[in-house]
Amino acid sequence: MNYFELFSLPALFSVDQIRLSETYRELQKQFHPDKFAMHSDSERLAAMQKSTEINDAYQTLKNSCLRAQYLLLLNGLDIALEQRTLQDTDFLMQQMEWRETIASFTENDEDKIEDFAGNIEQQVQNLELLITLQLQEKQLEAAADSVRKLKFMLKLKIELDLLEEKLFD
């Protein structure tokens, strides 16, 4: 089943998160395995499978990177498990600079860290806008490269969050 169809959403990168959450709750109420406790084994199994599918679909559509990968998959390009690296030398150099910057932060750099986090968030938003356009125009290989960059940026955000926890908690 197509995840977008399951949630009655258009197959677009931009998703109405409120509608997604509301539909998720409705589907979970309808197919929650506890509702099938008194049914046959096959009905309980089917409800459990449907509930798992609903959870998987929700997690995929909720996350911008997973959603972009899923849209690429729907268009015949599966990059979910690939080990391919980016060929964009400028971006690779920028990655190294960002990692060096993160490694250099100390507990005295709270303002610098906040500014850096804002810059990274802006980069993520810019990539998400670019992916939207690339998918609309069926530029699948370009969108795949943008998703690879987005994956890196989201990992960088996590690293920065972990550093902040370590320095300021």
**73 falls within a domain:** no
Residues 97 and 54 in one domain: no
Distances (CA, A) of 159 to 17, 103, 152, 164: 25, 10, 10, 9
Q: Which has the closest alpha carbon to 138: 77, 85, 51, 82?
A: 77
| Residue numbers of the domain that contains 95 | 89-168
Residues 58 and 95 in one domain: no
Domain CATH code at residue 23:
1.10.287.110
pLDDT of 1 > 90? The answer is no
Residue 169 pLDDT level (bands cut at 50, 70, 90): confident
Residue with the bigger pLDDT between 24 and 45: it is 24
Mean pLDDT along residues 76-81: 90
**126 falls within a domain:** yes
Mean pLDDT along residues 54-60: 97
**27 falls within a domain:** yes
Total domain count, the chain: 2
Residues 109 and 43 in one domain: no
Mean pLDDT along residues 47-67: 95
pLDDT at 71: 98
pLDDT of 85 > 80? The answer is no
pLDDT tens for 36-55 read: 888 888 888 888 999 999 99
Question: How far is residue 64's CA from residue 160's CA, in Å, rounded to a whole number?
Answer: 19
Domain CATH code at residue 126:
1.20.1280.20
Residues 47 and 115 in one domain: no
Residues 164 and 102 in one domain: yes
Q: Which has the closest alpha carbon to 59: 81, 125, 51?
A: 51
Question: How far is residue 166's CA from residue 104's CA, in Å, rounded to a whole number?
Answer: 14
DSSP three-state, residue 97: helix
- Contacts of residue 113, defined as CB under 8 A and 6 or more positions apart, other chains included, come to 105, 160, 163, 164, 167
Residues 95 and 41 in one domain: no
pLDDT at 38: 82
Can you give the pTM of this predicted structure?
A: 0.87
Residues 110 and 53 in one domain: no
Residues 122 and 53 in one domain: no
Instruction: Tell me what the pLDDT averaged over the chain comes to.
Output: 93
pLDDT tens for 103-134 read: 999 999 999 999 999 999 999 999 999 999 99
Question: How far is residue 101's CA from residue 123's CA, in Å, rounded to a whole number?
Answer: 16
Residues 95 and 153 in one domain: yes
Residues 93 and 162 in one domain: yes
